[in-house]
Structures are given as C-alpha cells and as structure tokens.
Amino acid sequence: MRQKIVAGNWKMNTTPAEGEALAKAVVAASSEVKGVTLILGVPFTHLCPVSKAIAGSDVKLSAQDCSAHDKGAYTGEVAASMIAPFGAGYVILGHSERREYHGEDSAILNEKMKQAYANGLAPIYCVGEKLEEREAGKHFDVVTKQIEEVVFNLSDEQFDKLVVAYEPVWAIGTGKTATADQAQEIHAHIRKVLASKFGAKAENTPILYGGSCKPSNAAEIFSKADVDGGLIGGAALKAEDFIAIAKAF
C-alpha cells in the first residue's frame, strides 16, 4: 500500500518560539492520527527548535528549499548538508512560490534534487499549472513537462524515495480548491507519466494534493484513488486543523 502523507508547509510564518509551540501541539495530538505520516515543512531558522520539539515522536521534519550548491560563496543560501543534521528527512522543492518569485526552473531544480539526495533528504517535488494554463487546457502538458525535465533524471533508487505534490497555482492560498474529480484526474495523469519512465514503481509514489486543503474538504479529496495525502499551507498553521486534515482519510 502507498504511504499516506500529510505535510505542512509553514512558508514564512511563525517565529521560532511560535513554531516550536506549534510543533509541540502537533506532536501532542499526533496519536489521534493512524497510518498517516505527518511532516512539518518549517523555515530554516526553525529546524533546530522544531527538531527538539518532535524528538521521540513519529512526526517528521522537512525544509522548504535547499541550495543548488554544496557549499561556498553563496550568501544567504542554505545547503542540504546543513539541513540534514537536524534530523530532517525531506525537502520541498519546486514550490510554485519558488518558481515564481525566485525564478527556479528545471535546470536549477535538477541541481537541488542532486543536493537533496546526496544528503539523504527525500524531495517533495511540487508541480502544478497556473490559472491561465488550466483555462487554456494546458494543465496536463505543464505537469508532464515539470516531471519529465526533472524527475526523469532520477535513478530508480532515487525515484523510490520521491514524493510528488500536485499544487494548482490558482488554488494556493486563494481559498479555491480543485474539485476531488479534478485532483483525481490529474493525479492519475501524473502517475501515468511517472510509470512511462519508472514502470510499476510509480504505483508506490505518494502523490499529494495541495491548494486550500482544509478540514472541511480533505476527506472528499483524499477519498480519490490517486490522492495519497496533502501538502498543506494555511491550515498547517493551526495544529487542530492540521491534525483534522490528517484524520480525514
């Protein structure tokens, strides 16, 4: 059976102290969640306090990005080798906000993927189309290209650790959610594209939905065959909502 995952993307929210408190609240309620891996995607500054807050629990830690370089004169950058020692197992790569505001393209993301794997971080690789691309009926082509240009460069062994997140840009932080049928349709497409390169292994790849997912809509979205969980932004900032989403399976 495929792993079920609910991952929080805290983005640039919470002070370190607030983040620590939020992580503690998630840990405290995590026993209510069965059979779902909980991941907290925290700012770099929060890796240390949150790693302490989740120590001894099943809650996992993720960064929201990593540098495309291993070390050196890259002011402000944070290397994957600096993230892993905090016990982080994951890194979110290719989030639409990174693609949009930091010009991240496939060439950069290929380098980031290499750094992630070299340091034992499993990428949560985000794909998704903009509103105008969906309206033009190009959403299948957009996600196919985002996968072909990056995921197809992975080895079979690397692919085994990959998590994919489908996040339609028009649904992120907007309150608009893809319908469960829209999510299923494109998740099934993503799995087909993955299978065209990696064969039956694609059956094991967790594909998460992201975009205004909340306690009230999670159950319907997660009921779909190819939706294996969620990447949660706004609703991950309240432990109660995050846990309620994870209980929606």
Question: So which residues are the catalytic ones?
Answer: 95, 167
Q: Which two tokens stand for residue 49?
A: 């306090």
The total of other beta-carbon atoms located within 10 Å of residue 148's CB is 14
Smallest distance from ligand PEP to CB 33, Å: 18
What are the C-alpha distances in Å from 189 to residues 73, 115, 176?
41, 28, 21
d(CA 34, CA 79): 33
Smallest distance from ligand PEP to CB 246, Å: 14
Site for ligand PEP contains 8 (CB under 6 A): no
Smallest distance from ligand PEP to CB 201, Å: 25
What are the C-alpha distances in Å from 44 to residues 13, 14, 41, 66, 67?
11, 12, 9, 9, 12
d(CA 78, CA 170): 29
What is the bridge-based pairing of β-strands 60-63 and 5-9? unpaired
Smallest distance from ligand PEP to CB 5, Å: 13
Count of residues of this chain found to bind ligand PEP when the rule CB under 6 A is applied: 13
Q: Between 117 and 156, how does the x/- string for binding to ligand PEP read (CB under 6 A)?
A: ----------------------------------------
Q: Which stretch binds ligand PEP (CB under 6 A): 60-68, 167-175, 183-191, 216-224?
A: 167-175
Rank residues 174 and 196 by Cβ distance to ligand PEP and give the closer one. 174
Residue choice 85, 120, 173, 199 for contact with ligand PEP (CB under 6 A): 173
φ/ψ of residue 14, rounded to 5: 80, 140
Q: Which two tokens stand for residue 151?
A: 């995921």
Rank residues 198 and 221 by Cβ distance to ligand PEP and give the closer one. 221
What are the C-alpha distances in Å from 119 to residues 13, 16, 82?
26, 24, 9
Contact, 79 vs 104, CB < 8 A? Answer: no
Chain positions 188 to 247 lying near ligand PEP, rule: CB under 6 A, are: 210-213, 231-235
Smallest distance from ligand PEP to CB 221, Å: 12
Rank residues 235 and 244 by Cβ distance to ligand PEP and give the closer one. 235
Which DSSP letter does residue 10 get? Answer: -
Rank residues 19 and 211 by Cβ distance to ligand PEP and give the closer one. 211
Measured at the alpha carbon of residue 84, what is the angle toward residues 146 and 26, in degrees to the nearest 5?
Answer: 85
Q: Which parts of this chain interact with ligand PEP (CB under 6 A)?
A: 9, 167, 172-173, 210-213, 231-235
